[in-house]
Amino acid sequence: MSDNNYIFDIEGLNVRYETEDGTVYAVNGLDLKLGYKKTLGLVGETGAGKTTTALAMLRLVPSPPGVVECAKLEICGQDIRSLSAQELEEVRGKDISMIFQDPMTALNPVFRVVDQIAESLEIHEHLSHHDAQEKAKELLEMVGISRSRANEFAHQFSGGMKQRVVIAIALACNPKLIIADEPTTALDVTIQAQVLDLMKDLKEKHDTSMIMITHDLGIVAEVCDEVAVMYTGRIVEQGTLEDIFERTMHPYTEGLFNSLPNIADRQAMLKPIRGLMPDPTEQPKGCPFAPRCDYAGRECESEHPALRSVTDTHKVACSAYDRQPDFLLERRKAR
């Protein structure tokens, strides 16, 4: 039997893309699990492997060029790897919903919005056409769209409203897990805040677990209970919100914080992380962050640090941390 303490449990996930320019190592030996009703923030710069991880969870990595290996992939107590195509379709529509950055990837321009929500209810919840239409209108109202607009087409809606329709579709069948991939990146700031509030509300009302993929630590602070920081397809630090924000252990995480605009002190200089992410077609021998790290020592260039537990909740993959656990704290005090 599966371990039912987790909404999902992934072990040893590797994804590579075989391209004409070489093999891109997108996700490398990733382990990740999450307790029920929790929201996990998956953060990292563009190219870190966040979207690929989400796609792999739903077996949606395009193949070719994608090649996926995974030792364990359980979601809602089911071994996702063993499901047939039809079973997978069921799970995707009903147990797990995904919200993408661009709402138009999920919306069909030639269907009325109410029909797009109702369709999912007819297929997965086996509602009659009439009941599905009624429930779809209720869902629209729940996400703040008047039922008088139910018969319009997606292109008649603003960006924020489209994303709300996508959220209504995602919530239609009461999924146990929502995977939201940069759901508000394409929206302007006020609308972004409204959509996030809505997601937070609904998540609490329906006890849904969620993965919030974002490069924005402000969003993480607002909606997440736990955080996993990804770099070059690996998790380099993971913990509760407090662990990550107040007891930062990895220099890369610290770099992400330093490159944020400081709201309290608008004069403060942004300090972007120096250098670039390494070429994803190369597998470095040492720590992939070492070339950009202010704290790297000789062992960082030669040995790959494992992700290890420092406390019950907090994990880090950093030799500099292992050598001198308080190095970031001391550095911060000195500032």
Ligand X SMILES: Nc1ncnc2c1ncn2[C@@H]1O[C@H](COP(=O)(O)OP(=O)(O)O)[C@@H](O)[C@H]1O
Which of ligand X, Mg ion, none binds 62 (CB below 5-8 Å, type-dependent)? ligand X
Site string for ligand X, 134-173 (x = CB under 6 A): ----------------------------------------
What gap in Å lies between CA 233 and CA 283, rounded to an integer?
A: 11
Stretch that binds Mg ion, among 28-36, 43-51, 66-74, 308-316 (CB under 5 A): 43-51
Of 9, 13, 30, 50, the residue at the interface with ligand X (CB under 6 A) is 50
Closer to ligand X by CB, 26 or 244: give it. Answer: 26
CA 197 to CA 1: how far, in whole Å? 37
- Nearer to ligand X (CB atom), residue 46 or residue 86: 46
Q: Which of 30, 34, 43, 47 binds ligand X (CB under 6 A)?
A: 47
Gap between the Cα atoms of 249 and 236, Å rounded: 10
Q: Which strands form 96-99's sheet, in the order they lie side by side?
A: 96-99, 177-181, 209-214, 39-43, 226-231, 234-240, 315-316, 308-309
Assess 44 for contact with ligand X (CB under 6 A): yes
Please report, as residue ranges, which positions from 7 to 36 form the binding site for ligand X (by CB under 6 A).
Answer: 17, 19, 24, 26
Q: What residues pair up with 291 in beta bridges, in sequence order?
A: none
Q: Segment contacting ligand X (CB under 6 A): 43-51, 67-75, 113-121, 196-204? A: 43-51
Within 10 A of 329 (CB to CB), how many other CB atoms are there? 12
Q: What tokens were used for 332?
A: 């911060």
Q: Is the peptide bond before 103 cis (omega within 30 degrees of 0)?
A: no
Question: Nearest distance from residue 44's CB to ligand X, in Å?
Answer: 6
The DSSP annotation for 257-283 comes to HHTS--SS-TTSPP-PPSS-PPPTT--
Interaction of residue 300 with ligand X, rule CB under 6 A: no
Alpha carbon of 144 to those of 138, 178, 217, 289, 300: distances in Å?
A: 10, 19, 26, 43, 51
235 binds ligand X (CB under 6 A): no
Q: Does 48 bind ligand X (CB under 6 A)?
A: yes
**Element spanning 178, H or E:** strand 177-181
Per partner kind, with CB cut-offs from 5 to 8 A, the member of ligand X, Mg ion, none near residue 49 is: ligand X
Q: CA dist 333 to 123, 191, 301, 323, Å?
A: 58, 37, 27, 19
Q: Does 52 bind ligand X (CB under 6 A)?
A: yes
Asked if 51 touches Mg ion (CB under 5 A), the answer is yes
Binding stretches for ligand X (CB under 6 A)? 17, 19, 24, 26, 44, 46-52, 62, 65, 280
Binding stretches for Mg ion (CB under 5 A)? 50-51
